[in-house]
Structure 1
Amino acid sequence: MGAKFLQFLVLSFSTFLFSTAFTPQDNYLINCGSNAPTVVVDNRHFVSDKGSGYLSEGKSFSLTNPKTSPISPVLYSTARVFTSASSYAFNIKSVGTHLVRLHFSPFSSGNYDLKNGNFDVLANGISLLSNFGANSTVLKEFFLMVDKEELEILFTPASDSSLAYVNAIEVFSAPKDFFIDAAGIALISPDGIQEFKQNVSSQILETVHRINVGGSMLTPFNDTLWRTWIPDEDFLYFKSAAKIARTTDPPNYQPGGATRETAPDNVYMTAQQMNIVNRSLNSLFNITWDFPVRPGEDMHFVRLHFCDIVSVALNTLYFNIYINGVTAYKDVDLSVLALHQLASPYYIDFVVKNAKGSGVVRVSVGPSELSATLRKNALLNGVEIMRMVNFVASPRRSKKKSLWILVGSVIGGIFVLALAVVAILALLKCRKRKPKQKTRRAESAGWTSLRVYGGSSQATASEGTALASPGPYGYFGLKIPFADIQLATNNFDKTLLIGSGGFGMVYKGVLGDNIKVAVKRGMPGSRQGLPEFHTEITVLSKIRHRHLVSLVGYCEEQSEMILVYEYMEKGPLRHHLYGTDLPPLSWKQRLEICIGAARGLHYLHTGSAQGIIHRDIKSTNILLDENYVAKVADFGLSKSGPCLNETHVSTGVKGSFGYLDPEYFRRQQLTDKSDVYSFGVVLFEVLCARPAVDPLLTRDQVNLAEWAMEWQKKGMIEQIVDPHLKDQIKPSSLKIFGETAEKCLAEYGVDRPTMGDVLWNLEYAYQLQTNGRKREEHRPTDVTSDDPRTPMVVPSGRAGIDGNCDDGTSDISTSGVFSQLITNEGR
Structure 2
Amino acid sequence: MGSEKFGFLIRVSLISSFLICLCHGYVPLNNYLINCGSSTNVTVTGRVFMSDKLASNLLTSPSEILAASNRNSNSDIYQTARIFTGVSKYRFSLAKGRHWIRLHFNPFHYQTFQMGSAKFSVSSQTHVLLSDFTVKSRVMKEYSVNIVATDHLELTFAPSGDSFAFLNALEVVSVPDTLFSGDPSFAGSPGKFQGLSWQALETVHRVNMGGPRVTPNNDTLSRIWEPDSEFLIEKNLVKSVSKIASVVYVPGFATEETAPRTVYGTCTEMNSADNPTSNFNVTWDFNVDPGFQYFLRFHFCDIVSKALNQLYFNVYVDSMLVVKSLDLSSYLYNTLSGAYSMDYVTGLAKQTNRIRVSIGPSTLHTSYPTAILNGLEIMKMNNSKGQLSGGTFLPGGSSSTTKKKNVGMIIGVTVGSLLVLVVLVGLFLLCKKRGRDLDDHSKTWIPLSSNGTNSSSNGTTIASINSNSSYRIPLAAVKEATNSFDENRAIGVGGFGKVYKGELRDGMKVAVKRGNPKSQQGFAEFKTEIETLSQFRHRHLVSLIGYCDENNEMILVYEYMENGTLKSHLYGSNLPSLSWKQRLEICIGSARGLHYLHTGDSKPVIHRDVKSANILLDENLMAKVADFGLSKTGPEIDQTHVSTAVKGSFGYLDPEYFRRQQLTEKSDVYSFGVVMFEVLCARPVIDPTLTREMVNLAEWAMKWQNKGQLEHIIDPSLRGKIRPDSLRKFGETVEKCLADYGVDRPSMGDVLWNLEYALQLQDAVVDGDPEEDNSTNMIGELPLRFNDFNHGDTRVNVSVAREGKIQEEEESSVSDLSGVSMSKVFSQLIKSEGR
TM-score by length of 2: 0.44
Q: TM-score, normalised by structure 1?
A: 0.45
